[in-house]
Structure 1
Amino acid sequence: MIYTITLNPAIDRLIKIKGTLTKKLTNRVQNVEYDLGGKGLHVSNVLTKFNIENEALGYIGEVNQQLMGNILAKKSIRHHLLVEDGASTRECMVVMDDTNAGSLMITENGFHVSEKSHYKLIDFLNQFVTKKDIVVIAGSMPPNYTIAQLQEIINTIKSKNSFIACDLSGEALAAVVDMGINFIKPNQYEVQVLLRDTNTTLIQKIEELARLIDYVVVSLGKGGSYVAHKNAIYHVSSPSVQEQNDTGAGDVFVGTFIAQLVKGKDLQTIMKYATGCAASKVTKHNSTDFDVKEAESYFDRISIKKLGSDDYVVS
């Protein structure tokens, strides 16, 4: 079983503006659509599309519980989300226009999670997680959530000897790096902050992280990614596509990477599927959609180069 944990879920409100989004003018809305928000929930959506058994964990608010429930049901996502009384799951407004120049995101902070809810999650992990499972913790922290609480979650999972993947940032990312987790996906700027030694290059910092963590993926935006595993670092290029909405592309990468890992694929195949599916996501207008066949059609436009070698690796 794969469990995803989204500590600060969201409901994405996708707003399509007619024409070009312009300040100080009336920007008229063509249509509004609701979609799943929160990195861990996005990962669960990807795993579900790959027919990988998974269950989404985390916290949602009571006030708009029905709306979130309808979205989860539409996407056939199995979940055990703890409901916080009197709270409302945050909304993320994603604004797009007719220029296809990318999206603008405006996010709410989220609600305060009670200590009672936190320990309900700990109890669930203690009861159900086993060494055969994978746990993916992804996304931002609720406003009042502490690093100590995050570490308690990590330690609970580690006590089960489970594979732990984290897509976190800032202080949360720094806190888990030394805890013996198995997968991280920072971007290049987060790596620079994570390891403050100014005398080392980005690649040297990735090498240092790879000595601690089995799989290190560093996002380079349109420049693709670096993937480090077993004393090797690869640069993976990203195919050029017509961008509509890049929201959720990184989550599709993580979900696809984990899905292919579970399927027992070799690393080169994993990297191509993850990169291709993320590129497919960028071409869609909502926060979660991607097409596997479309991703496969990008494979010949994705190069994988092992650093330190002039040879390109092909799958």
Structure 2
Amino acid sequence: MVITVTLNPALDRTLIIENFTLGTVNRASKERFDIGGKGINVSKVLKNLGIESKAIGFLGGMVKSVFLEELDNRGIEHQFVEIGAQTRTNIKVVDNKNSTNTDINEAGPAIKEEELQKFIEIYKENCKKENIIVISGGIPKGISDDIYARLIKIAKERGAYTILDAEGELFRKAIMEKPYAIKPNNHELSLLFNETLEDESKIIEKAIGIQKNGVSKILVSLGSKGAIYVTDDEIYSAKGLKVEVNSTVGAGDSMVAAIVYSLLNNLSNKDTLTFAQACGASTVQLEGTEACTLDEVKSFLEISERNVRRVDYGN
């Protein structure tokens, strides 16, 4: 079973505004609403890839029913702790004329200690042997930044695999517990090492260091420039695919879903990166935080494979 953790979900409101201009009145030509939060996004993609998952985390306020209804409509199992505060709403402004995407993200609700403890109990119940636990996104107020480290430790003690997608101190503390796989982007990796990482060789060097400290698989996303996949026995690099970009939100989450898909389908390292790149490319073509489908991903596999190469780094 796959369990996705979303501690700070958000209702994503996407506004299409041509020639978005600061300091003036802007009129939206189109809008859409999507339930989101990185773990929930992963569950949405997995469902479209034919993989069942269970979404857990916190939900509260007026939008809670929106989330639960949409998850039910999608056939995604869920077990969220109801909180007293309001789940956040994020605004995404897409300006196709100027090719810009602007995110306005709320901080999220404050979580009470008793709400956190209730979640921990639910989490423990779901950390069964050989389950895959996806831990991703930010955290709301009231929760310590060592929470992901705690969750990884709990999962590993129960024989579950953990996949991490986080940044900042959450990321730094969590990787100390050696999750099975991580999916940072180059910005998150740069923050971890406090240096700008743009060169492929430097990114590989840092990823190898993480891998040697106990993280088995590191998928580094580079946006339009591609991705790098470092494992204990092979390294692969992929060029970015040139596609029409309608929204970058959820692209990284689709790549996390690709890691899960590869594990469950025993894909090779090369095929894992090929599939991840295809997932990312198909996602950025979609509006809002809609999830890519398996057919959409398959349409990119051939060109994605041609852009993947093995890297000889002396390991």
Give the structure 1 partner of residue 160 of structure 2. Answer: 162
Give the structure 1 partner of residue 145 of structure 2. Answer: 147
Q: Detail structure 1 runs of 4+ shifted over 4 Å in the superposition.
A: 196-200
* Amino acid aligned to 1:59: F
Give the structure 2 partner of residue 97 of structure 1. Answer: 95
Give the TM-score normalised by structure 1.
0.91
Distance in 1 separating the partners of 2:68 and 2:218? 33
Question: Aligned-pair distance for 1:25?
Answer: 3.1
Q: 1:234 touches 1:305 (CA, 8 Å); kept in 2?
A: yes
* Amino acid aligned to 1:209: I
Count residues with an aligned counterpart.
Answer: 307
Distance in 1 separating the partners of 2:278 and 2:153? 33
Distance in 1 separating the partners of 2:149 and 2:292? 33
Give the structure 1 partner of residue 123 of structure 2. Answer: 125
Give the structure 2 partner of residue 312 of structure 1. Answer: none
Question: Aligned-pair distance for 1:204?
Answer: 1.4
Question: Aligned-pair distance for 1:122?
Answer: 1.7
Give the TM-score normalised by structure 2.
0.91
Distance in 1 separating the partners of 2:100 and 2:265? 33
Q: What's the secondary structure of 2:103's corresponding residue? A: strand
Give the structure 1 partner of residue 12 of structure 2. Answer: 12
1:257-276 to 2 correspondences below 5 Å: 257-276=259-278
* Amino acid aligned to 1:156: I
Q: What's the secondary structure of 2:44's corresponding residue? A: helix
Distance in 1 separating the partners of 2:15 and 2:194? 39
Give the structure 2 partner of residue 33 of structure 1. Answer: 32
Distance in 1 separating the partners of 2:152 and 2:266? 25
Distance in 2 separating the partners of 1:231 and 1:32? 46
Distance in 1 separating the partners of 2:273 and 2:83? 38
Give the structure 2 partner of residue 206 of structure 1. Answer: 207
Give the structure 1 partner of residue 56 of structure 2. Answer: 57
Distance in 2 separating the partners of 1:14 and 1:192? 29
Question: Aligned-pair distance for 1:197?
Answer: 7.9
Deviations 1:127-158 (CA, angstroms, capped at 9, x unpaired): 33211201000000112210243333222212
Q: 2:14 touches 2:92 (CA, 8 Å); kept in 1?
A: yes
Deviations 1:226-273 (CA, angstroms, capped at 9, x unpaired): 100123221112210011111111101111221232122222222212
Q: 1:100 touches 1:242 (CA, 8 Å); kept in 2?
A: no
1:1-315 to 2 correspondences below 5 Å: 1-17=1-17, 19-85=18-84, 87-99=85-97, 101-196=99-194, 201-211=202-212, 212-302=214-304, 303-308=307-312
Structure 2 alignment gaps of length 5 or more: none
Question: Aligned-pair distance for 1:20?
Answer: 1.5
RMSD: 2.0
Q: 1:9 touches 1:59 (CA, 8 Å); kept in 2?
A: yes
Question: Aligned-pair distance for 1:198?
Answer: 9.2
Q: Percent identity?
A: 27
Distance in 1 separating the partners of 2:126 and 2:135? 16
Distance in 2 separating the partners of 1:194 and 1:23? 33
Distance in 2 separating the partners of 1:53 and 1:285? 23
Give the structure 2 partner of residue 313 of structure 1. Answer: none
Change over 3 Å in CA distance of 1:29–1:197 after alignment to 2: closer
Question: Aligned-pair distance for 1:80?
Answer: 0.4
Q: 1:6 touches 1:139 (CA, 8 Å); kept in 2?
A: yes
